[in-house]
A and B are shown apart, each in its own frame.
Chain A
């Protein structure tokens, strides 16, 4: 891939499911971040895919911490490095949507309010996958999980919006099917100081119920249908990126049904439910477009 080093920081042979987008994204993320990086990982699929100790699955230090504690742990690491005069290290939390939108939001909000110098990547597979696909605050409306077997009735929590409200230097959304867009955003984040946040949609074959080889296609459909909007927010300005830049007009977007039908988790969504989902997506677009107008 253009502009990416051939050096591998995530070593092969990890224990992820086949077709796991989150792991592919971590591989790319580490290439961008480089060797002077510390990863902080709370309880989530990524804590399991590392395999068993004393095995080390990466060429950068990984510090596993408690489910709710990734941002605070990173703040402590940053404070220690500053005291030791080590200033050129990326400290990166790599957390799931549950560890971000739900149990970890307090420590993330605290770190962001303090402006602690860290990058936070939330890989969003839209449920608690490590414990077997239970609903999270980031699960979208209509999705079946093991704790919402008739489909979630509430909408998805807008964590990037919450992070924008913290007035941190950088907030972006991304999707694993657009690795270059993600890599560019990570590069921008690395070039800044303070709390930087990237929310990365990461399709998950067992949790979303689609065949493993469709991982890239599912992510693309999420973006092309407008269900997931790619943007970045920096210095008080918002702009659409990647394919989303051309999708401001609703008519340019693929029908939402194409995105929903490729996955099993929305199988029970009836037309009236789908209408409700479309309304929410339109509202989200209006909100982001208004943000882009400034």
Chain B
């Protein structure tokens, strides 16, 4: 069939059998929720559609549903994503396997409905897995894979996937669907065993965590995000088998072998970057493309490996962090540079004293002398702790 990126997402979410959808309209996301609403009203899809009064409420409702073990989905864009932000963090820090499509769009003022990635990247610290799609087909494929990744026992974190405004959301391309049976085999009905609300086994979710406890809760989220890299790759290769279409996992390497210049790109314009690499190669310039399909967890190792031996690396950012620079550019620099020892300390009110700082300084010297490279150290961690479950 021929479909837009937005409709591809709706078909994917239908195939994934989402049970609760709560959403609020915003250009250019509207077609996603209109189509889903239509599926449900026509009886083609069994789900509850909550036509909420704001994006904040949309994510709150998804969290409430997910807390009961339901498969929950929403979609938004730009202003809507930022309006939702408090609950985006709530879902990520609370480890609720919600899935969200984000049609990436510039933030106002001045008003603009056109493409930019600053909106989705502004939520990169929220504990979500962040995927960026390149094509209509990939938007469909990602919307099914996202639920499997999110609900995987080793992960249990929410997943958002980005579609570039218009160039992907509203562009019609060829779309191949998988059969419902294949979809069900790839993504079985939700077991819902992540639920935290159960009248049979009453617990309190989310009450105060002391400084003695919080850091370990965050540490467990960090570990699950780390674990998700492998789960994302697994989901991609399994979906390649089911669909008969090769899926990118964390990154996609295009003509990277022997590349003297590497274009590092994200999202829908990656196709144009690949065409440019072809043209350059024809002219004798050894160009390659490294597409980052996944932004969180950031595929640092894959990037380091792919960029080894490149004469020039060009990171193209469709976003900006004022006062610093392009966001992906900064992250690639931090993944490939010398890098400091990075101490994570004082989380959730954990003590951080003069003695800790002295200890950290000594620890850094010891690591340097032992020839350790960069690294992340959770200072004073007592082992991971599941978030109030």
Give Cα A75 to B65, complex, Å.
8
Q: How far is the CA of A51 from the CA of B65 in the complex (A)?
A: 25
Question: Contacts of A87 on B, CB cut-off 8 Å?
Answer: none
What's the least CB distance linking B63 to chain A, in Å?
6
Q: How far is the CA of A81 from the CA of B65 in the complex (A)?
A: 8
Partner of A53, one of B60, B65, B388: B388
Collect the chain B residues with CB atoms within 8 Å of residue A79's CB.
Answer: 20, 22, 48, 50, 61, 64-65, 70
Known: A76-B64, A79-B20. A107 touches B53 (CB 8 A): yes
Which B residues touch A35, using CB under 8 A?
A: 199, 202
A47 touching B50 in the complex, CB below 8 Å, given contacts A65-B60, A110-B57:
no
Chain B contact residues, CB within 8 Å of chain A: 19-20, 22, 46-48, 50-54, 56-58, 60-70, 72, 86-87, 90, 192, 196-199, 202-210, 213, 388
Cross-chain contact of B87 among A69, A71, A80 (Cβ < 8 A): A69
How distant is the Cα of A198 from the Cα of B261 in the complex, in angstroms? 66
Would you list which residues of chain A between 3 and 36 have a CB under 8 Å from chain B?
Answer: 35-36
Known contacts A37-B199, A59-B202; A80 and B20 CB within 8 A of each other = yes
Check A38 for interface membership: any CB of B closer than 8 A.
yes
User: Is A40's beta carbon under 8 Å from chain B?
Assistant: yes
Q: Is A241 an interface residue (CB 8 A)?
A: no
| Closest residue of A by beta carbon distance from B198 | A61
Q: Is the CB of A83 within 8 A of B70?
A: yes
Chain B residues with CB below 8 A from A71, complex form: 57
- The verdict on A110 contacting B52 (CB below 8 Å), with A47-B207, A66-B87, A83-B20 known, is yes
Residue-wise, chain A 107-119 has the 8 Å CB interface mask toward B (1 for contact) of: 1011001101000
Decide if B90 touches A84 in the complex (CB within 8 Å): no
A55, CB-defined interface residue at 8 Å: yes
A88-122 CB contacts (< 8 Å) to partner B: 89, 106-107, 109-110, 113-114, 116
Question: A61, B199: Cβ atoms under 8 Å?
Answer: yes
Give chain B residues whose Cβ lies under 8 Å from the Cβ of A47.
207-208
In the complex, the answer to whether B90 meets A61 with C-beta atoms within 8 Å is no
The smallest C-beta distance from A15 to any residue of chain B, in angstroms, reads 9
Q: Which chain B positions have C-beta within 8 A of A78?
A: 64
- List 11 interface pairs A-B (beta carbons < 8 Å), by A numbering: A47-B208, A62-B202, A62-B204, A62-B207, A63-B196, A65-B206, A72-B58, A75-B52, A77-B67, A79-B20, A106-B54
- Which range holds the interface residue count of chain A? 35 or more
Q: How distant is the Cα of A61 from the Cα of B204 in the complex, in angstroms?
A: 6
Contact indicator B199/A72 (Cβ below 8 Å): no
CB closest chain-B residue, reference A42: B60
| B residues less than 8 Å from A40 (CB atoms) | 64
- The reply to whether the CB of A282 lies closer than 8 angstroms to some CB of chain B is no
Residues in A with CB closer than 8 Å to B47 are 83
Interface: A292 (CB within 8 A) = no
Number of A-B contacts defined by CB within 8 Å = 171
Cross-chain contact A69 with B213 (CB below 8 angstroms): no
| B66 contacts across to A, CB distance below 8 A | 76, 80
Q: State the majority secondary structure of interface residues on A.
A: mixed
Knowing A74-B64, A80-B20 are in contact, say whether A52-B52 is a contact too (CB < 8 A).
no
- B90-A65 in contact (CB<8A): yes
Please, which residues of chain A bring their CB within 8 A of the CB of B192?
A: 84
CB-based contact A77/B204 at 8 Å: no
Query: What distance in Å separates the Cβ of A76 from its nearest Cβ neighbour in chain B?
Result: 3
- Which residues of the other chain, A, contact B50 by a CB distance below 8 angstroms? 75-76, 79, 114, 116
Contact of A61 among B53, B54, B205, B388 (CB under 8 A): B205
| Interface pair B62/A76, CB less than 8 Å apart | yes
Q: CB within 8 A of A77: which of B51, B53, B64, B86?
A: B64
Other A-B contacts than A77-B65, A84-B70, A84-B192, 7 sampled, CB-CB below 8 A, are A58-B204, A61-B199, A65-B64, A66-B60, A73-B60, A77-B64, A106-B54
Would B65 and A76 count as touching, CB distance under 8 A?
Answer: yes
With a cutoff of 8 Å between Cβ atoms, the chain B residues found around residue A74 in the complex are 64
Known contacts A35-B199, A37-B199; A107 and B54 CB within 8 A of each other? yes
In the assembled complex, the Cα of A48 lies from the Cα of B207 at a distance in Å of 7
- In the bound complex, residues from chain A placing their C-beta under 8 Å from that of B90 are 65-66, 69
Q: CA separation between A167 and B48, bound complex, in Å?
A: 23
Report whether A53 and B20 are in contact in the complex, using a CB–CB cutoff of 8 Å: no
Q: How far is the CA of A77 from the CA of B50 in the complex (A)?
A: 11
Residue A134 is within 8 A (CB to CB) of chain B in the complex: no
| Assembly CA distance A38 to B205 (angstroms) | 11
Interface centre among A35, A36, A71, A109 (most CB of B within 10 A): A71
- Does the CB pair B63–A76 fall under 8 Å? yes
User: Distance in Å from the Cβ of B53 to the closest Cβ of chain A?
Assistant: 3
Chain B residues, Cβ within 8 Å of A113: 53
Q: Is A223 an interface residue (CB 8 A)?
A: no
Nearest-neighbour CB distance to chain B for A40, whole angstroms, equals 7
A226 at the interface (CB under 8 A from B): no
A56 to B204, Cβ gap below 8 A?
yes
Residue A57 interfacial (CB < 8 Å): yes
User: Which 7 A-B pairs rank lowest in CB-CB distance, beginning with the nearest?
Assistant: A76-B64, A110-B53, A76-B61, A64-B206, A72-B57, A80-B70, A80-B68
Closest Cβ of chain A to B192, distance in Å, is 8
- Whether A52 contacts B64 in the complex (CB less than 8 A), given A63-B196, A77-B197, comes out as no
Distance of A197 Cα from B259 Cα, bound (Å): 66
Select A107's contact among B19, B20, B60, B203, beta carbons within 8 Å.
Answer: B60
A68 at the interface (CB under 8 A from B): yes
Q: Which residues of A contact B20 (CB under 8 A)?
A: 76, 79-80, 83
Contacts of B197 in A (CB 8 A): 38, 61, 63, 77
